[in-house]
A and B are shown apart, each in its own frame.
Chain A
């Protein structure tokens, strides 16, 4: 397995706030990784840097050897924490839009998932519920054949049954060449599918271990350990 994502002394400062502090991290391909931390810990800042939406104050990040830019956008499928799609569009129009945008997009897979979740391609985005809108966004992202999937809070707004579907989609879509990075605070729902867990606190990575290492070492679930580490 090769290194897909590499971060070196990555830091981001907003005026007086240090949102990321000297992050050093390597992620291999073929992993499902959880990026776990409380609100305001730096998860979204980190994810935005990976996607070239923010530039680091210090340090650097490379994805498959390239700094975030045109080349990395071809291989990174990103689910932002809020929707950026035009709400007047129909679901099928957005599928077409993605097909035009990304070479690796697989429309047949998108339609299959939409059908499974009972979302009609004829519907306009603005008539969908918040949860269904989130499902559409996730379907679009997972329908790409990417090397790195970056999912910012993919399950927060969807019901538990759809959550299970999301998780089985991630398992089904598993590919030894691709890595999935999932930021969430709904840990108990997702910890069983993770290889590695990263705890981020005040912009620092405080733990990076496998789920089984954590459970063997602490005799508790990742969720329980999280509650302990981030206790108020």
Chain B
């Protein structure tokens, strides 16, 4: 599948944003984060900013962005519509949560509940994003039980790195946050590792024989494609630039997304670094994971093989 940069930016930025929002909601509601204006403004502002940047960029790949509101109407059948509706609904508790934290310096009572609601809705919204892909029967690499856990764990892991950086900057860091980030990184790593193993081992579900129905007559090979030039289907579904570099790119994403941030988090958690050095390490971890998750998402698209390409003599 062709990886649209706007969709990569959208899913990674909003994933991290929702991950951070969920963690802020839970920790603030539990009274573990001080309800200071600066921390609330920076934390919720960063999370909401990433979400808004993501949502905005997702409209860039539309043919008619001015009609984007229509994408909210079919929530009964479409995961894309559900994602849109939930993304907007989530802003309501986020706004009230922010109101309490930033203006009234409280995250208790109603505002705490709003934090919890924002956390729950964030998780559900990311789940809808994942289900857009996981529900497509046409792409076996997406129609996989590990896609949903992958999106959730990566959203929370990247969000937790942001939380560590944020709490260090505002001097409210405790070891718990770094340990949490380590646990979430490990979980995301295991999910991704299992996912790659799963798609590598799975046999294709359809073949050119079943696609053409001609398998009974012997082996089937494409002799002539319909036109001399590539068409929309071939450009959209037949992307294969990254596929041939998949192994290297997987290694890059493992290193940047999991290994480097995990080592840095371990340094912070074990108090090997502290003060400004710890903050620097946390920001470095965020940047590294940002690169890693972008590569991971690019691969998620580039490694996806669409069965319509069977008609064009390509594997699926």
Q: Verify that A and B bind, or say they do not.
A: no
Chain B residues close to A by CB (< 8 Å): none
Chain A residues close to B by CB (< 8 Å): none
